[in-house]
């Protein structure tokens, strides 16, 4: 019943958001020994500079202006990630962000999925399962990416926005050499004139005689092949891609990178696939002029009814358009008058009006060096003395390019921590503060409510400026720490020496132990007078007193 005293509801101010973000958290299959043992943490929470790696991904998304984030995680890691998100991205600090955390088994399953499937589902199958939660175009991201400063996510989104025909915009990058050596090699086909992605093929799957299909060369005579690029697993998709994904059986869906994306890009140049998928990927949109004419009182009745029938389909009708004209004469009249736009090209068997494009990310060239007048005079003086002048220590160090890096392998995780340590020697990152303790200052990571517990460092300990410590850590006398990242509540014993190491939370290094070029996960223990070099130890690993370990990768309970 209508209530005359009821006031009209206030309209909420809403901003139409054209993109949402989906972050997939995996198991970290290539991160042994971090991914095995007891009390293993998710790879999304692996610390880089004592900050979980997923923070860099979420911050990257929020900085682009996107506020709707769907994070899909394995069941076993849900609680620990939920606790971290609740603390690091609470409503008090990120009031506008809408972060939805889901277990990867919560989505809608097909009937065939209710049978026997491996618990470690492929990324494509998981995405299909949650397709009804994604209402707009979206960017699909890994949980372990660390983008360089020159690559804001907005730049990737803008490239997709500026290309109406793009179904997919993917990011490929040139990796740093230390990471490239440990990654699987792929043959990538690109059209540099149109920025189209045309081919992804694992090198291991190639025969000695590699063949390129004639149809591909006919459509793209400027095809370029390369093996120097890696897939960043950053994909911007049109929402209709999920409709195409829904047509695939779950058992046919595995990895996005290895199966689905190569399958999708083939439809961009294979006519048969393109014509088959076009009504799904590129359906005709509603014409605003047609909407207006459908409600017009001056337009001819036949036209008004025609537009009304096209703009307001019956719920029982398929969501995809009927390509059969209702009245040839009426349609001809509409086209000749200019009221209807030209028919889509795929109706006549031509190349589909959609494509998969690519962004190739490489470090920018170094800035031109500008010598100070004093430096120029010193150089000239050295040249006048036969080139034997003293080296000018005031000159800036050589430029080192910044690469996009993923922590999906040990090499990538090592590289991220090395990059963080190098940043300490040049400038203090925004999430690091300096607190005085003893004769020298100690960099301390500040995180949440525990920030008040400063490290307890002996005045006789030596801490290099390019090291950082978490709150609650204790360092004994005569201990030496150089180029290290020390987690929270660690204990470094008397006389211990650490060089170029990463220690997670609650690690103990006993007296007079030596640790070099190594990573020790949470709750690890390095025994008294033991010597450890070039090692990675999983959660809870204990090195016995006096042990000598070199080049080992071990988990709790294992011995070299």
Please answer whether residues 61 and 21 qualify as being in contact, where contact means their C-beta atoms are separated by less than 8 angstroms.
yes
**b/e sequence 498-525, b meaning 16+ C-beta within 10 Å:** bbbbbbbbbbbbbbbbbbbbbbbbbbbb
Q: pTM of the entire structure?
A: 0.79
pLDDT of residue 324: 35
Q: Which fold has domain 435-554?
A: UDP N-Acetylglucosamine Acyltransferase; domain 1 (2.160.10)
**Radius of gyration of the chain from Cα atoms?**
29
* Domain chopping of the chain, boundaries: 19-281, 435-554
Q: In the prediction, which pLDDT does 341 show? A: 43
CB 232, CB 145: distance < 8 Å: yes
469 in helix, strand or coil?
Answer: strand
d(CA 198, CA 176): 24
d(CA 437, CA 456): 7
Q: Which run of H or of E encompasses 503?
A: strand 502-503
- Sort strands 536-537 and 553-554 into parallel, antiparallel or unpaired: parallel
Q: Please, are residues 519 and 509 in contact by the beta-carbon 8 Å criterion?
A: no
DSSP 26-67: ---TT-TTTTSSSSPPPGGG-EETTEEHHHHHHHHHHHTT--
Residue 143 to residue 73: CA distance in whole angstroms: 10
What is the per-residue burial (b if ≥16 Cβ within 10 Å, else e) of 187-200? bbbbbeeebbbbbb
Asked, as a colleague might, if the bond just before 338 is cis with ω within 30 of 0, I would say no
CA 323 to chain centre: 39
**Whole-Å CA distances, 188 to 239, 356, 357, 367:** 25, 13, 13, 30
19-281: CATH topology is: Spore Coat Polysaccharide Biosynthesis Protein SpsA; Chain A (3.90.550)
Beta strand pairing call for 405-406 and 145-146: antiparallel
Q: What is the mean pLDDT of each run of 10 residues along the chain (560 residues)?
A: 40 57 94 92 96 97 96 96 95 92 86 57 89 95 95 96 92 90 85 88 76 76 88 95 88 84 83 78 64 54 40 37 37 40 43 81 79 50 47 59 93 95 68 39 53 83 94 95 96 97 98 98 97 97 96 90
| 3-class DSSP state of 342 | coil
């Amino acid at each position: 019943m209508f209530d005359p005293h009821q006031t009209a509801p206030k309209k909420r101010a809403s901003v139409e958001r054209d993109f949402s973000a989906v972050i997939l958290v995996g198991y970290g299959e290539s991160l042994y020994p971090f991914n095995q043992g007891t009390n293993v943490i998710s790879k999304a929470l692996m610390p880089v500079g004592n900050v979980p790696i997923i923070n860099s991904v979420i911050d990257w998304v929020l900085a682009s202006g996107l506020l709707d984030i769907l994070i899909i995680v394995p069941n076993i890691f849900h609680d620990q990630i939920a606790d971290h998100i609740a603390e690091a991205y609470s409503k008090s600090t990120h009031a506008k962000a809408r972060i939805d955390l889901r277990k990867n088994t919560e989505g809608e399953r097909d009937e065939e999925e209710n049978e026997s499937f491996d618990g470690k589902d492929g990324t494509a199958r998981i995405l299909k399962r949650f397709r009804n939660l994604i209402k707009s175009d979206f960017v699909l991201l890994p949980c372990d990416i660390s983008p360089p400063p020159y690559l804001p996510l907005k730049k990737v989104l803008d490239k997709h926005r500026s290309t109406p025909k793009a179904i997919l915009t993917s990011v490929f990058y040139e990796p740093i050499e230390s990471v490239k050596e440990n990654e699987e090699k792929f043959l990538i086909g690109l059209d540099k004139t149109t920025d189209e992605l045309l081919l992804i093929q694992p090198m291991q799957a190639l025969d000695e005689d590699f063949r390129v299909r004639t149809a591909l060369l006919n459509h793209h005579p400027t095809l370029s092949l390369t093996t120097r690029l890696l897939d960043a697993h950053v994909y911007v998709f049109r929402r209709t891609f999920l409709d195409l994904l829904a047509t695939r059986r779950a058992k046919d869906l595995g990895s996005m990178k290895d199966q689905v994306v190569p399958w999708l890009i083939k439809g961009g140049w294979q006519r048969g696939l393109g014509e088959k998928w076009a009504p799904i990927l590129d359906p005709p949109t509603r014409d605003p002029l047609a909407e207006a004419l459908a409600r017009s009182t001056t337009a001819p009745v036949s036209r008004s009814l025609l537009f009304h029938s096209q703009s307001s389909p019956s719920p029982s009708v398929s969501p995809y358009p009927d390509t059969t004209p209702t009245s040839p004469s009426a349609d001809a009249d509409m086209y000749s008058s200019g009221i209807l736009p030209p028919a889509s090209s795929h109706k006549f068997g031509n190349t589909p009006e959609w494509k998969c494009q690519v962004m190739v990310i490489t470090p920018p060239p170094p800035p031109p060096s500008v010598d100070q007048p004093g430096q120029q005079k010193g150089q000239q003086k050295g040249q006048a003395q036969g080139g034997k002048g003293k080296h000018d220590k005031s000159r800036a160090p050589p430029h080192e390019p910044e690469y996009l890096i993923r922590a999906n392998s040990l090499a990538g995780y090592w590289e991220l921590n090395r990059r963080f340590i190098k940043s300490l020697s040049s400038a203090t990152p925004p999430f690091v503060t300096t607190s005085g303790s003893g004769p020298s200052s100690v960099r301390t990571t500040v995180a949440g409510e525990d920030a008040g517990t400063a490290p307890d460092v002996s005045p006789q300990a030596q801490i290099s400026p390019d090291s950082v410590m978490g709150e609650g850590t204790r360092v004994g006398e005569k201990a030496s720490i150089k180029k290290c990242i020390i987690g929270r509540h660690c204990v470094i014993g008397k006389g211990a020496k650490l060089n170029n190491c990463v220690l997670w939370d609650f690690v103990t290094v006993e007296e007079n132990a030596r640790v070099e070029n190594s990573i020790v996960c949470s709750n690890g223990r390095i025994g008294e007078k033991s010597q450890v070099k070039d090692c990675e130890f999983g959660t809870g690993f204990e090195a016995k007193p006096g042990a000598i370990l070199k080049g080992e990768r071990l988990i709790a309970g294992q011995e070299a």
